[in-house]
Amino acid sequence: MTEIPVISGEAVFAAIDPGIAVERTRLSFERHALGEWEMPPKVYLDSPPNGDFRAMPARGDGLALLKWVTSFPGNSAKGLPVVRGEILLSDAETGEELAVIECSSVTSLRTGAAAAVSAQALAAAGAKSVGIIGCGVNGAWSARCLAAVGYGPGVCADVRAEPAEALAGELGWRVGDRAEAAAQDVVVTVTPGREPVILASDLRPGQHVAVLGADAHGKQEVELEAIERCRLFCDEWEQASAGGELSNGVAAGAIRREQVTQLGEVLIGSTVGRRSSEEITLFDSTGLAIQDLAIVQAIYAAWQDGRIAAPLVEL
């Protein structure tokens, strides 16, 4: 019999704050770029007409995990979460199960943290102000992670007043419209990707744009004409070119592999990031299992140290 902890989302948030999430997420991009952590591309299982399931494995530092996670964009209207699922954590040397962890908490922390890591690596020197377009679950965590590493104040824009007001109130930022948010130094888009929320006319020299919402084919948050004005970065080319924001430009023949730099390469110093204060940088995040692994490694360590209470289950 194997006895393993089942760790709730509440326990995850109690153990991992946004600052830790940013550090862990940066480490995951570095380890992956160094070839130390392994990750096949995520597998999508469409569930039309409402959304899709994703299976996301990764291995590193003696651990292996599988995240089984959803994106059901219409769920908000039904009062249900868009992102839900579980992470199975195993010992990579013996295959032994170690833990089951609620996954939307981990997803939120590492998704928001990716926006912050991209800003730290690519935003212009002196960039401070933040625009959040789409202030739902992952938009809010992006704002919290950016605030935790010194960005802000910011402008919170959403087609619904309530999430923008709640986020602005929490962080002491302000509510604004889409164009105001898109005018800030660091702009983060985290909408369901049903229509572009960044237009070519919004962009000005020196901005950094982190595009998080388009994480599956058919989603788009940035006009192609706007993308063409930016120096392009992504979390991982295979995923971004197949299902991220950049996939729209790849399909249109407007974006080629050699135009896009993976963030990890900038972080380990093997490629140059921003080249001038005038450049507009765009980071396409599709969400990587290695990011989950870095957060889960910290969660499991916290449980081993007795800092997380979790029920034990015999399998």
Ligand X SMILES: NC(=O)c1ccc[n+]([C@@H]2O[C@H](COP(=O)([O-])OP(=O)(O)OC[C@H]3O[C@@H](n4cnc5c(N)ncnc54)[C@H](O)[C@@H]3O)[C@@H](O)[C@H]2O)c1
The binding site for ligand X (CB under 6 A) comprises 71, 73, 76, 82-83, 107, 111, 133-139, 157-160, 163, 178, 190-193, 195, 197, 212-213, 215, 219, 285-287
C-alpha dist (Å) from residue 93 to 41, 96, 149, 296, 304: 22, 8, 35, 17, 18
Q: Which is nearer to ligand X, 180 or 265 (CB)?
A: 180
Q: Which is nearer to ligand X, 98 or 284 (CB)?
A: 284
Least distance CB 196 / ligand X (angstroms): 9
Q: Which is nearer to ligand X, 41 or 192 (CB)?
A: 192
Least distance CB 33 / ligand X (angstroms): 18
Least distance CB 254 / ligand X (angstroms): 21
* Active site residues per annotation: 67
Q: Looking at beta carbons, which residue is closest to ligand X?
A: 136
Least distance CB 17 / ligand X (angstroms): 19
Residue keyed to tokens 């050699």: 258
Sheet with 51-60: strands ordered across: 43-47, 51-60, 63-71, 85-91, 97-102, 3-7, 312-314
Separation CA 288–CA 286 (nearest Å): 7
Angle made by CA atoms 210, 138, 305, in degrees to the nearest 5: 110
Please, which residues have CB within 8 angstroms of residue 275's CB and are 6 or more apart in sequence? 231
Structure tokens at 224: 């192609």
Q: Which is nearer to ligand X, 46 or 278 (CB)?
A: 46
Pairing of the two strands 260-262 and 186-189? unpaired
